[in-house]
Amino acid sequence: MKTPVKNKISQSVKEVPPALIREMSLKAAAYSNVISLGIGEPDFDTPEAVIRASMEDALRGHTHYTPSRGDEELIDALIAYIKVEKDIELEPNQLMVTHGGMGALIAALRAILDPEDEVIVFEPHFPSYKAQITFSGGRICYVSTRFEDGFIPDPRRVEKAITPRTKAMILNSPNNPTGATVPSGVLDELASIAVERDLIVISDEVYDKLVFKGSHDSLYKRPGMEQRTIVINSFSKTFAMTGWRIGYCYGPNVLIDQVLKVATYFTSCPSSIGQRAALAALKMDREIFVDMANEFKERCGLVYDRLKAIPGIRVHPSSGSFYVFPSVDSLTRDTMNFALELLDKEQVVVIPGEAFGPSGKGCIRISCTVGSNLLLEAMNRLERFVRNYYSS
Ligand code: PLP
C-alpha cells in the first residue's frame, strides 16, 4: 500500500503551526463592518511618485534579473542613506538587497545555523522567527520579557539561557508586538554579552524610523559588534511599501557573503521593479514618511489613552512601531477566546498575545493601522465589549 503523501511532509515544517495572524484575518472575512487592527502593515499607500518612477523604469527595461546582491544604483543609494541616517560607513560588499526583511532573516539564519544550533529570541516576538529558525534546522531558545518590565529584555536572563550550542541572538527594537524600544544601557549590556560569549546578533530594525522619542539606537554601534551583527531592515514599514517586497541587510562581509550565497540559490535576486521603487523612495523628499511616522505616534497615544481608562486593562505607552500591546489578564487569561468573541460581538480584529510566544498570553496586539476616527470607533467597541461581557 502506498504511504499517504501527508506522511512525507518534513517534520520541521509540520511542527510549525499556521500563522495565527493570517487565520484571524480569514475568520474576519465572514463578518461585515469589521475594523481590523490585526495585520501589521501601514494603511498608507506607496506615494504615487514612487509607483510612477518604478513603472517608468520598467518601461525603460528594468525588468530583468538584477545582480543577486541587488541593483547597483540601489546599493549605492542605500550606502549613502545609511551613512547619513546612522553615521555607519559600509563597503558595497557589506550590504545586500533582499526579498523584504523576511528574505534577509531567512537567508541570515540559514547561513549561520547548523542542526540543533540554538538562537536566543526574546518573547513575545515576531512569529516568523520561530518558523525560520526551525526551517533552518536550528532551535529557538526563549528568553521571556514581562509586562511588569515594559517588555524590556533582562540581560541576566540572557546569560542564564546561553549554552554551548547558542550561536546567535535576535533582537527586535522597536518591537513587534510590544511597541517597546530597548534602552541604550540594555543594548550596552547585551552587546557585552554577545562579545564575551561569541554570539552573532541579528538586529531586526525594520521599525527604526518609527521611534516616538529621540532616534533609533542600534547594538551594531557598540564596541566589537560590527564584526558580529547582521542588521535587518526593510522598505515595508518606513516607506509604506509592504507589497513591493524589498528589504536589505548589512554586516561583516564574511557573513554577508554567505547570506548572499543562500539568497542567490533561494531567489536569484529581489524583484527588479521593486528595487527601482525602493531607489525612488530613497531619492524623493522624505517629509511624507516623517508625517506618516508622526501619525503612527499620535494613533498609538490615542489608543493608549483610551485603553488605560477601561477597567481591567493595563497598558504601557508604546515607544515605537505602530503596535500597542495591552494586558487583559485581569479580565481573562484566555486571550484567544477574547479575540474571537470581540470579533463575533463587535467586529473588531485584534491578535491574541499567545501568537507571539508564551509571555504574550493575557495580552492582545492592536495595530494602529487605521485612521484615528476608525481607531476611536474600534476603542468604543472594545470598551463596550469589556463592559458587557467582562465586568462583574
Ligand atoms: N521583522 C519584523 C519585526 C516585522 O514585524 C516584519 C513584518 O511584519 C518583518 C521583519 C518583515 O517585513 P518585510 O518582509 O515586509 O520587510
The whole-angstrom separation of Cα 86 and Cα 261 is 27
Q: Is 247 in the pocket of ligand 1 (CB under 6 A)?
A: yes
- 157 with 195, same domain: the answer is yes
Residue 6's pLDDT is: 79
The whole-angstrom separation of Cα 75 and Cα 297 is 30
- 238 with 369, same domain: the answer is no
User: How distant, in Å, are the alpha carbons of 3, 64, 88, 214, 289 from that of 211?
Assistant: 53, 36, 19, 7, 13
> Considering only CA atoms, which of 212, 228, 232, 45 is closest in space to residue 128?
232
**Ligand 1 centroid to 39 CA: how many Å?**
11
- 218 with 275, same domain: the answer is yes
- 294 with 156, same domain: the answer is no
Mean pLDDT of 74-99: 97
DSSP 8: G
Whether 100 shows a pLDDT value over 60: the answer reads yes
Query: In which residue are the cell numbers 547585551 written?
Result: 190
Helix (H) or strand (E) holding 364: strand 364-367
Residue 2's pLDDT is: 65
Over the stretch 209-247, which tens digit does the pLDDT of each residue have?
999 998 999 999 999 999 999 999 999 999 999 999 999
- 314 with 385, same domain: the answer is yes
Q: Is 205 in the pocket of ligand 1 (CB under 6 A)?
A: no
The whole-angstrom separation of Cα 197 and Cα 169 is 11
Tell how strand 351-352 and strand 364-367 pair up: antiparallel
pLDDT band at 44 (very low <50, low <70, confident <90, very high): very high
- 308 with 247, same domain: the answer is no
Over the stretch 111-131, which tens digit does the pLDDT of each residue have?
999 999 999 999 999 999 999
- Domain edge (last residue) among 221, 253, 283: 283
- 328 with 200, same domain: the answer is no
Bridge-partner residues for 319, per DSSP?
Answer: none
Residue of 170, 171, 182, 236 best suited for mutating to test ligand 1, as the one with most atoms within 8 Å of CB: 236
Q: Please give the number of the atom of ligand 1 that sits closest to the Cα of 235.
A: 16
Whether 11 shows a pLDDT value over 90: the answer reads no
**Ligand 1 centroid to 19 CA: how many Å?**
14
Q: Is 204 in the pocket of ligand 1 (CB under 6 A)?
A: yes
pLDDT band at 21 (very low <50, low <70, confident <90, very high): confident
Segment among 3-17, 243-257, 355-369 with least mean pLDDT: 3-17
Query: In which residue are the cell numbers 508625517 written?
Result: 291
Mean pLDDT of 195-211: 98
pLDDT band at 24 (very low <50, low <70, confident <90, very high): confident
The whole-angstrom separation of Cα 238 and Cα 320 is 12
Whether 1 shows a pLDDT value over 60: the answer reads no
Q: Is 249 in the pocket of ligand 1 (CB under 6 A)?
A: no
DSSP 138: -
Q: Report the Cα 240 to chain-centroid distance in Å.
A: 14
Q: Does 175 fall in a domain?
A: yes
**Ligand 1 centroid to 323 CA: how many Å?**
13
**Ligand 1 centroid to 226 CA: how many Å?**
22
The whole-angstrom separation of Cα 58 and Cα 98 is 19
- 310 with 261, same domain: the answer is no
**Ligand 1 centroid to 108 CA: how many Å?**
14
**Ligand 1 centroid to 2 CA: how many Å?**
41
Residue 26's pLDDT is: 87
Residue 391's pLDDT is: 77
- 102 with 239, same domain: the answer is yes
CB 226 within 8 A of CB 253: no
* % residues pLDDT > 90 (the chain): 90
Backbone angles phi, psi at 364, to 5 degrees: -130, 145
Domain that holds residue 37: 5-45+287-389
Q: Is 379 in the pocket of ligand 1 (CB under 6 A)?
A: no
> Considering only CA atoms, which of 104, 95, 71, 74 is closest in space to residue 281?
74
CATH code of residue 33? 3.90.1150.10
Backbone angles phi, psi at 280, to 5 degrees: -65, -40
Residue 392's pLDDT is: 67
Q: Does 55 fall in a domain?
A: no
- 74 with 163, same domain: the answer is yes
Q: Does 57 fall in a domain?
A: no
Over the stretch 244-282, which tens digit does the pLDDT of each residue have?
999 999 999 999 999 999 999 999 999 999 999 999 999
The whole-angstrom separation of Cα 359 and Cα 257 is 36
pLDDT band at 5 (very low <50, low <70, confident <90, very high): confident
Helix (H) or strand (E) holding 290: helix 287-308
Q: Does 50 fall in a domain?
A: no
Q: Does 369 fall in a domain?
A: yes
Residue of 105, 237, 244 best suited for mutating to test ligand 1, as the one with most atoms within 8 Å of CB: 237
- 12 with 105, same domain: the answer is no
CATH code of residue 123? 3.40.640.10
Q: Does 325 fall in a domain?
A: yes
Residue 154: is it exposed, middle or buried by C-beta count within 10 angstroms (0-12/13-18/19+)?
middle
> Considering only CA atoms, which of 382, 369, 293, 310 is closest in space to residue 341?
382
pLDDT band at 18 (very low <50, low <70, confident <90, very high): confident
- Domain edge (last residue) among 218, 249, 283: 283
The whole-angstrom separation of Cα 161 and Cα 166 is 9
Number of structural domains, the chain?
A: 2
CB 74 within 8 A of CB 95: no
Q: Does 66 fall in a domain?
A: yes
Coil/strand/helix, residue 4: coil
Over the stretch 296-334, which tens digit does the pLDDT of each residue have?
999 999 999 999 999 999 999 999 999 999 999 999 999
- 192 with 107, same domain: the answer is yes
**Ligand 1 centroid to 176 CA: how many Å?**
9
Residue 64: is it exposed, middle or buried by C-beta count within 10 angstroms (0-12/13-18/19+)?
exposed
Residue of 22, 125, 126 best suited for mutating to test ligand 1, as the one with most atoms within 8 Å of CB: 126
CB 169 within 8 A of CB 202: yes
CB 106 within 8 A of CB 116: no
Q: Is this model's pTM higher than 0.85 or not?
A: yes
Average per-residue pLDDT for the chain: 95
